[in-house]
Amino acid sequence: MIPFFFFSLVILGAVLYLTRFKKDSSGGWLQFFSKGKEAGFTIRDMEQLRRLATSCNIPNPVSIFKSQKQMELIIRSMVSSVRTSGEINDWAVQDFLSRLFDYCKKIEMETSDSKTRITNSRQISEGQTLKILVPNTGVFKSEVVKNFGNYLTISRPVGSKSSASMQWYNMKVSVYFWREDDAGYVFDTIVIDEVFSKGISSLKVEHNDSLFRTQKRKSLRIKFTKPAFLYLVKEVDNPHKLEKTAGLRVMLEDISDTGCSFRVSGQASSGLRLKVQFSLGRIPVCMPGTVRAVEYNQEANISLVRMESDPLPIGTRNHILCEVFDLLPEDDEEELPFRVLEEEAAVKEEASA
């Protein structure tokens, strides 16, 4: 009987807690807390979100759970507040901020997926890189030359097993491609002719009205053109350790909380363990990871390297996501990470002298 009494008190307390906010907003605080629970936030999280929504003067607080713009407003307010208070490095603050970023990413990616996804091969853009799988033979590289209503024209596939005498006509193949900021797609088709198109040897293949969508992107990536330094990861060392000396200079092309891409002189190889170091918002950032793909331009002798990051410390990940969501000031300091480290080292030496 006593446990039931205490349980009833807990339920009653929760109802009173929620109903006291019921008329505070046109969105309805009961609905706000309900949507927050569905989104995976705790009661404590919801109280923090309620305060943030109130301080941001959001007319309908429930909208933060479906509007990326409104959730970004909440995050911006929180980041500004904890920076001012000096709590930015508090673990609990960073943990809550990380979960807000995850939810904001979820909203954006779900919205973007519904707008960018394609359903048939007639929607593939010219210039799209393709991988052609020939059963019992191998995988070949190609690209879309033209896309007509009746057929798709692709460049003659090339690969280590291809030859000028290879007969493609009437061959059944599988086509795989990755659409930028979308996902991977696969479809089966038949080669209906071998032709010359735009001056190059090409194949005409049948369209397919049913594409299989796979490997959806896992993170938001933004263009990020900035100099950085590259190092080989030594397995005996901590890969997240900031280097004090300049490494091989590279140019970052994009960045996300799960990796980056950069251009480097020479021919790179997949599978390499590397780390990239750069300045972000006047703070040095180190991103270790593994090279997953390389596009080598032989004429220019430059490689575009796509690196998947190791799991990052929560503070570093949040700092990168602040850049992804445009929450950091402009930063023109190219080699700041090394100057910062040198200054810190000098201060420590003076203190120990």
DSSP letter assigned to residue 158: B
Return the number of other C-beta atoms located less than 10 Å from residue 1's C-beta: 4
Query: What confidence tier does 22 reach under pLDDT thresholds 50, 70, 90?
Result: very low
- The predicted model gives 208-235 an average pLDDT of 84
Q: Could you read off the pLDDT of 164-177 as tens digits, one per residue?
A: 678 899 999 999 99
Query: What confidence tier does 303 reach under pLDDT thresholds 50, 70, 90?
Result: very high
Q: What pLDDT does 26 receive? A: 43
Position with higher pLDDT, 330 vs 203:
203
Q: What are phi and psi of 237, to 5 degrees?
A: -100, 165
Q: Which residues contact 256 (CB under 8 A, 6 or more apart)?
A: 219, 220, 221, 222, 320, 324
What are the beta bridge partners of residue 154?
Answer: 144, 203
Q: What pLDDT does 138 receive? A: 85
Is 187 within 8 Å of 208 (Cβ atoms)? yes
Q: Which two tokens stand for residue 276?
A: 């990239």
Question: How far is CA 78 from each of CA 172, 282, 323, rounded to the nearest angstrom?
Answer: 56, 20, 15
Percent above pLDDT 70 for the chain: 81
Residue 37 has pLDDT above 80, yes or no: yes
Task: Please name the residue that has the structure tokens 């907003």.
Answer: 25
Is 191 within 8 Å of 169 (Cβ atoms)? yes
Residue 335 has pLDDT above 90, yes or no: no
What whole-number distance in Å separates Cα of residue 316 and Cα of residue 242?
12
- The predicted model gives 344-351 an average pLDDT of 52
Q: Which two tokens stand for residue 311?
A: 């799991």
The counts of H helices and E strands in the chain are 7, 13
Which residue ranges form the domains of the chain, and what is each CATH number?
2-116 (no CATH), 121-210 (2.30.110.10), 222-352 (2.40.10.220)
Return the number of other C-beta atoms located less than 10 Å from residue 29's C-beta: 21
- Decide: helix, strand or coil at residue 81: helix
Task: Please name the residue that has the structure tokens 């996902």.
Answer: 183
Q: What pLDDT does 150 receive? A: 87
Write the secondary structure of 285-340 as one string of H (helix), E (strand) and C (coil).
EEEEEEEEEEEEECCCCEEEEEEEECCCCHHHHHHHHHHHCCCCCCCCCCCHHHHH
Q: Could you read off the pLDDT of 60-91 as tens digits, one per residue?
A: 899 999 888 899 999 999 998 898 888 988 99
Q: Which two tokens stand for residue 234?
A: 């030594």
Q: What pLDDT does 252 receive? A: 95
Query: What confidence tier does 106 reach under pLDDT thresholds 50, 70, 90?
Result: confident
Residue 336 has pLDDT above 70, yes or no: no
Task: Please name the residue that has the structure tokens 């990755």.
Answer: 178
Helix or strand (DSSP H, E) at 176: strand 172-178
What whole-number distance in Å separates Cα of residue 79 and Cα of residue 63?
20
Q: What pLDDT does 232 receive? A: 93
Task: Please name the residue that has the structure tokens 């300049």.
Answer: 246
Is 115 within 8 Å of 108 (Cβ atoms)? no
| Strand extents, DSSP E, 198-319 | 200-205, 212-214, 222-232, 248-256, 259-265, 273-280, 283-297, 302-309
Whole-number average pLDDT of the chain: 83
Q: Which of 349, 353, 251 is nearest to 305 (CA)?
A: 251
